[in-house]
Amino acid sequence: MYQFIENGTVTSVSGFKAAGIHCGIKKKKKDLALIYSELPCSAAGTFTINKVKAAPLLISKKAISGKKTVKAVLVNSGNANACTGSEGYNDAKITRKHCAELLGIKPSEVLVSSTGVIGKRLPMDTFLQGINKIVPHLSEEGGLDAAQAIMTTDKKMKSYALKVKLEGGSVKIGAICKGSGMIMPNMATMLAFITTDAKVSQATLQKILKKSVQNSFNKISVDGETSTNDMVVLLANGQSEISIKAGSKNESLFQEALDALTQKMARTIASDGEGATKLITVNVTGAKTDKDANLVGKSVANSALVKTAMYGRDANWGRIMSAAGMSGAKLDPEKMSISFANVPVLLPGYKIVLDEAAALEVLSKDEVEININLASGKKSSTWWTCDFTEEYIKINADYRT
Amino acid sequence: MYQFIENGTVTSVSGFKAAGIHCGIKKKKKDLALIYSELPCSAAGTFTINKVKAAPLLISKKAISGKKTVKAVLVNSGNANACTGSEGYNDAKITRKHCAELLGIKPSEVLVSSTGVIGKRLPMDTFLQGINKIVPHLSEEGGLDAAQAIMTTDKKMKSYALKVKLEGGSVKIGAICKGSGMIMPNMATMLAFITTDAKVSQATLQKILKKSVQNSFNKISVDGETSTNDMVVLLANGQSEISIKAGSKNESLFQEALDALTQKMARTIASDGEGATKLITVNVTGAKTDKDANLVGKSVANSALVKTAMYGRDANWGRIMSAAGMSGAKLDPEKMSISFANVPVLLPGYKIVLDEAAALEVLSKDEVEININLASGKKSSTWWTCDFTEEYIKINADYRT
């Protein structure tokens, strides 16, 4: 039992403060965010599997795997601090230490995260002055400012919260995230910072988060790219005093709510894909194995030809068949059927039942559903992506210069 | 020792005739091609690994694996005859039989191939009348017409031939090919029809072709897509009486010439990628294994972010690092170096030596070279791709409608 909170954000959760400011890493837009909890938090995280990892990511990953408690997350946009070598690593440590000093906590209690251009050193003077400026701004109303400050090419601000009814009382979960380009399956695909006042051990929190990421952020694709900086962090400060023990009823209730939240974020990230005009949901059913279901979903969600066809509102099921066929999944093309939303297109035995007018109608909507039934088993998988437009090219041909 | 022949084509080779006409599958452009040899040919072929295979491909693959001789190849563009079930399979067999009858040969001596829209039945009346019309057009000057007739979204006609000096005399190799969208590594990535008057057994011919495709068509990428119809066919009619035996000096001379021809085609296909403005060559060196070299080359050549950066003439080496890092190859980012043509950008230890003006100059050319040294071993790999532009989106959003 959960309920989304209007204008919800990380500071909708008791005990969390946040702030978002412009400090000068970007020209005009907000570029520095801070999330803070007075109570020490259990911290869980999932991180990019790209072999090229950004400096702040290495530091935060180490902190979380150390299983100590955390009190703050410092995030900048505009500069990824990736491919900056040992100097970049030191830069990140200096910003962390400075932030900790001003907050009166230990450096190890601060997670750091960056997003933006790769291969440029952080402007350290600007950054350190930014930290001086942001700490006094921390407030219980600061979540939306923080959400704005982590955006890069995002068009929509992404901020949510929900209230979850558990045995013994209610807890809240709040989140902010960013992600628009460089989104790719099979990892923590963007930046997301999630807060909760539930009381959860680090190990249980990590298990819950990993499961949730697997069925949300790891199943979206904008362009098949994987960032050097992606991370999802979940902080639990325990302020509600409501416990979530491993294997309990509360765990499954909390998991269900967190899944709703992460899937909401994943769908929003996909629909806010660079240049996107619509959200595409790919539902694969009837697969023999989970692996086959995922291979087909990923291949269709990643297909430039399917994504351009959706942009052109073209019921080009042949491209879907082709993407499924090249996915590496075991499948029998003769058994497959395909529909767009509730409009059947292909039935088993290559029987084409396409009603072009009806297909055009559903393909003209802001949300498009592609349903693929492999008719070979009982496994299924859902993926999210967006259409592929001229605007994606424009954004990415001009990004750095 | 080989030499390209000006305006070379499949009929530059003794004993081969060809024709290309408009028969009505497309509205206006040529859409039917026929290649014919009076002498029976050894035939080798490589075919798509997409699990969804077009009807004509199944028929031709079966014919070639039967190791019988072949005399003709019938190719249509405008309709792929894919995802058309048993009816589509019968259609392809009927066209093959009709063509064989008019040529006075056995149906099993005719290979068939199709390219175009997926999921539509062939217009059989039009097609059969087209066969009636094309057979009398066969001529020793027909190669370029055939090259035109197999084009779909290709902008450039692709037709080549070369003369190879072997022990005992000279032979020729001629080729036509098409390919522009749906180009993806790891298979026979498009349509190519190659003729030679060398005398080669089927087994040796197949071995030579497979090796050549591996280092040419299997290393190009336009959009990461894999067609249902891709095939490369090599016919040897033996008219020169110059033999190529397995393991002989002549085999390696012939292989070298064929490799030059297939790489020429592969580069042209990549540079003619849908909407492309430039050819991009990705040279990976210093890999520990061939697999690592290929993973990095493929990932960089497939990266939408790298390809849009090249379109924007943006020396965005961070995207190259990121694409390499997510390739699955074993690599140490700290050891890597990157250059554009002869302009160094990144040296080991994340030392950035980018001269923006010099980089802009080399990135403004029609051919761009990305060099990636992993400094971890001695293996290398070369891939070809093109930049990614708004035009790709336009072509593919509107293709079918």
A231: β partners: A47, A191
Please state the φ and ψ torsions of residue A92, each to the nearest 5 degrees. Answer: -60, -40
d(CA A21, CA A34): 9
Residues of A designated catalytic? 189
Q: Please state, in angstroms and as integers, the Cα–Cα distance from residue A153 to each residue in A74, A117, A277, A326, following that order.
A: 20, 11, 15, 31
Residue B315: half-sphere exposure toward Cβ, Cα within 13 Å? 24
Cα nearest neighbour of A394 on chain B: B390
Task: Give yes or no: residues A231 and A368 share one domain.
Answer: no
Query: Within an 8 Å CB–CB cutoff, is residue A401 touching chain B?
Result: yes
- The pLDDT of residue B189 is 43
CB count within 10 Å of CB B340 equals 23
Domain of residue B362, CATH code: 3.10.20.340
Please answer whether residues A163 and A170 qualify as being in contact, where contact means their C-beta atoms are separated by less than 8 angstroms. yes
Helix/strand/coil percentages in chain A, nearest 5: 35, 30, 35
Instruction: Give bridge partners of residue B163 from the DSSP assignment.
Output: B3, B172
Contacts of B102 (CB under 8 A, 6+ apart): B131, B132, B135
B260 shares its domain with B315: no
The C-alpha atoms of residue B37 and residue B57 are separated, in whole angstroms, by: 20
Q: Which residues of A touch B351 (CB under 8 A)?
A: 85
Q: Does A225 touch chain B (CB under 8 A)?
A: yes
DSSP annotation of B141: T
Query: Could you give the CA distance from residue A163 to residue A171 in angstroms, rounded to a whole number?
Result: 6
CA dist list (Å): B254 to B38, B46, B314: 23, 18, 41
A316/B225 touch (CB, cutoff 8 Å), yes or no = no
Closest to A350 (Cβ–Cβ): which among B85, B329, B390? B85
CA dist., res. B225 & res. A333, Å (int): 17
Question: What is the rounded distance in angstroms from the CA atom of residue B230 to the CA atom of residue B50?
Answer: 9
User: What one-letter code names the amino acid at B322?
Assistant: S
Are the beta carbons of B326 and A225 separated by less than 8 Å? yes
Q: Do B52 and A399 touch (CB under 8 A)?
A: no
pLDDT of residue A227: 67
Give chain B's end-to-end CA distance (angstroms, integer).
48
SS3 B213: helix
On whether both B258 and B289 belong to a single domain, the answer is no
Please report which helix (H) or strand (E) contains residue B351, including its range. strand B351-352
Residues 242-301, chain A, touching B (beta carbon < 8 A)? none
- Which residues are CB-neighbours of A101 under 8 A, at least 6 positions away? none
Check if B118 contacts A (Cβ < 8 Å): yes
* CB–CB contacts below 8 A, A to B: 203
- Of the residues B9, B95, B189, B385, which is catalytic? B189
Q: CA of A352: which chain B residue's CA is closest? A: B119
A150 and A243 both lie in a single domain: yes
Q: Which residue has the tokens 């294997």?
A: A247
DSSP B109: G
**Domain with A213 in it: what CATH number?**
3.60.70.12
Residue B140 tokens read as 């020793």
Identify which of A49, A325, A398 has the shortest CB distance to residue B51: A325
Q: Which of B312, B321, B326 has the CB atom closest to A118's CB atom?
A: B321
- Cβ-Cβ contacts under 8 Å for B187 (sequence gap 6 or more): B46, B47, B48, B49, B50, B217, B218, B226, B230
Angle (CA) B7-B10-B15 rounded to 5° is 120
Residue range of the domain that includes A96: 2-271
- Residue B75 corresponds to which tokens in the numbers above? 């190719």
Cβ-defined contact of A312 to B397 (cutoff 8 Å) = yes
The tokens of B398 are what?
């509107």
Residue A369 CA to residue A279 CA, distance in Å, equals 9
Indicate whether B267 and B283 sit together in one domain: no
**Scanning every residue of chain B, which has its alpha carbon at the shortest distance from the alpha carbon of A401?**
B314
**Structure token pair of residue B367:** 């051919």
What are the residue ranges in chain A where pLDDT is below 70?
Answer: 180-189, 222-227, 398-401
A49 & A171 share domain = yes
Residues B47 and B170 in one domain: yes
C-beta atoms of B118 and A319 within 8 A:
yes
Residue of B nearest to A316 (CA): B400
d(CA A289, CA A328): 13
Alpha-helical regions (H) of B243-339? 249-271, 290-302, 304-311, 317-325
* Number of domains observed in the structure of chain A: 2
A225 and A125 belong to one structural domain: yes
Find the CB nearest B83 among A117, A350, A389: A350
Same domain? A224 vs A94: yes
Rounded Cα distance, A233 and A194, in Å: 6
Element spanning A362, H or E = helix A356-363
A41's enclosing H/E stretch is: strand A32-47
Last residue of a domain, one of A217, A242, A271: A271
CA dist A317 and B83 (Å) reads 10
Same domain, A122 and A139: yes
Residues B296 and B372: their CA atoms lie apart, in Å, by 9
Assess whether B349 and B258 both reside in one domain.
no
Q: What is the pTM for the complete model shown?
A: 0.82
Residue B130 C-alpha, separation from nearest chain A C-alpha, in angstroms: 25
| Residues in a beta bridge with A381 | A284
pLDDT at B184: 42
* Record: contact A49-B326, CB cut-off 8 A: yes
Clarify whether residues A127 and A264 are in a common domain. Answer: yes
What is the full per-residue pLDDT of chain B (401 aa) written as tens digits?
899 999 999 999 999 999 999 999 999 999 999 999 999 999 999 988 788 888 999 999 999 999 899 999 999 999 989 889 999 999 999 999 999 999 999 999 999 999 988 888 999 999 999 999 999 999 999 999 999 999 987 888 999 999 999 999 999 999 999 986 544 433 334 899 999 999 999 999 999 999 999 889 888 875 555 567 789 999 999 999 999 999 999 999 999 999 999 999 999 988 887 788 999 999 999 999 999 999 999 999 988 889 989 999 999 898 899 899 989 899 999 999 999 999 999 999 999 999 999 999 999 999 999 999 999 999 999 999 999 888 888 877 875 54
In the DSSP assignment, the letter for residue A314 is -
Rounded CA-CA distance A177/A72 in Å is: 16
pLDDT value of position B49: 78
DSSP string for residues in A203-258: HHHHHHHHHHHHTTGGGEESSS---SS-EEEEEE--TT--EE-TTSHHHHHHHHHH
| A333 touching chain B per CB within 8 A | yes
User: Measuring CA to CA, which residue among B343, B289, B345, B293 is closest to residue B319?
Assistant: B345
Q: Is B317 on the interface with A (CB under 8 A)?
A: yes
CB contact under 8 A, B326 and A117: no
